Amino acid sequence: MKDKVLPKILVAVFTGLLAVILSGCDTVPVTGRSQLNLMSPNQEMQLGLTSFDQLKKDTPISHDPAANALVQKVGHRIAAVADKDMPGAQWEFVVFDSKEANAFCLPGGKVGVYTGILQITKDEAGLATVITRTAYTDDHDFSGALTLLPDLGQVSVPLLRHWHETAYGSDNKS
């Protein structure tokens, strides 16, 4: 009797787990990939907005006019192109005063650029490449890939190229 009940229980449990997993899968609009979503897009956006507000309170913000002007110029050009792929984004670009060579985008279009990366990107085109990549990977894969540098995949590379070329042209001149 036990031998007949156990397989039925295992099948029922497996079927239930599969149903839960599949019901939590969505297709990412921009990439067409399926991913397991552990939170709704609205929850993601709220988490991004709250986290960004907290980060602005906890991290020194740069008052360097040249750095801020560069980040605003590049950010707004990328946002103008990315807006159709990221509807509802409340774009905000902040330069954080830190030697860390990093940039990030939280759900909802909240972009942070650390002053340390500006020495590496050197110019508008370099910064555009970083912001484009950051905005795409961090905003589109937030719930599914909480890693520092998630794999871009074959679908997103053309989209990144499209965003960058639409905002900056294919010759990469500022």
pLDDT tens, residue by residue, 13-56: 666 555 555 555 566 555 566 666 566 777 878 888 899 999 99
Does residue 85 have a pLDDT over 60?
yes
Residue 85 counted as domain residue: yes
Q: Pick from 52, 54, 41: which is nearest to 110 by CA?
A: 52
Token pair in block for residue 60: 């020194």
> What angle separates helix 153-168 from helix 124-140, to the nearest 10 degrees?
140
Give me the mean pLDDT over the 143-153 stretch. 34
Residue 30 counted as domain residue: no
Residue 93 counted as domain residue: yes
Task: Report how many helices (DSSP H) and strands (DSSP E) the chain contains, helices first.
Answer: 6, 5
Neighbouring-strand partners of residue 25: 36
The answer to whether the CB of 138 falls within 8 A of the CB of 105 is yes
- Mean residue pLDDT of the chain comes to 73
Range of the domain at 70: 41-168
Task: Specify the pLDDT at position 141.
Answer: 44
Does residue 169 have a pLDDT over 90?
no
Token pair in block for residue 63: 């008052």
Q: For the chain, how many structural domains are there in total?
A: 1
Residue 5 counted as domain residue: no
Main-chain dihedrals φ then ψ at residue 172, nearest 5 degrees: 60, 20
pTM: 0.65
Residue 157 counted as domain residue: yes
How far CA 166 is from CA of 33, 44, 110, 158, 159, in Å, comes to 23, 27, 21, 12, 10
Residue 162 counted as domain residue: yes
Residue 36 counted as domain residue: no
Residue 14 counted as domain residue: no
Token pair in block for residue 110: 């909240």
Residue linked to tokens 């939170």:
39
